[in-house]
Amino acid sequence: MTSWDEFTAAAPSLASRVRARFAAAESHVLATLRRDGSPRVSGSEIDFRDGEAYIESMLDAMKARDLQRDDRFALHAYPGIEEGGDAKIAGRAVEITDPAEVSRIQEGQESHLFRLDVREAVLTWVEDNTLWIESWHPGSWVRFARPDNGPAVRTELG
């Protein structure tokens, strides 16, 4: 399991920029898997606390049911903001079921709470006619650039 703090320690610059994109808007796009395996997208908020990233859901919402059945998720930062690039994280959503922990984190709200096990983070942006893609997976951090006129450049960062 990779906590937000572990991702931040492994790729501090990327983690900071990805988090800034999520902080730039309140609602983001969460992808889950329906019972038949087809994708479902829903609005969702992300909360960073105690070195972890969390998402909440209303009780018995479809996205919560999806995550309880299949914990894989992808969360795309609100795409309507161009500054700072396009940020996405993916991994596994682990439901917190201990009532005391849920109450402490949610401050008394009754809803589903999921801690995000980050297994991928990606930030893409365009600068001077060059598409930049920076991605992180546990144990691997890569920056890739594809200029309009020239060969692609790939740099292993860690």
pLDDT at 75: 98
Determine the Cα angle at 101 with ends 96 and 105, to 5°: 95
Residue by residue, pLDDT tens for the chain (158 residues) are: 899 999 999 999 999 999 999 999 999 999 999 999 999 999 999 999 999 999 999 989 999 999 999 999 999 999 887 788 999 999 999 999 988 888 788 776 788 999 999 999 999 988 888 888 999 999 888 888 777 777 777 776 66
3-34 per-position pLDDT tens digit? 999 999 999 999 999 999 999 999 999 999 99
Helix (H) or strand (E) holding 147: strand 140-147
Q: How many CB atoms lie within 10 A of CB 34?
A: 13
Question: Nearest Cα to 106, choosing from 54, 144, 30?
Answer: 54
What does the DSSP 8-state code read for residue 62? H
CB-CB contact of 112 with 126 (8 Å)? no
Let me know how many helices (H) and strands (E) the chain has, helices first. 4, 10
C-alpha to C-alpha distance for 72 and 44, rounded to whole angstroms: 15
Q: Which residues contact 129 (CB under 8 A, 6 or more apart)?
A: 147, 148
Enumerate the β-bridge partners of residue 86: 124
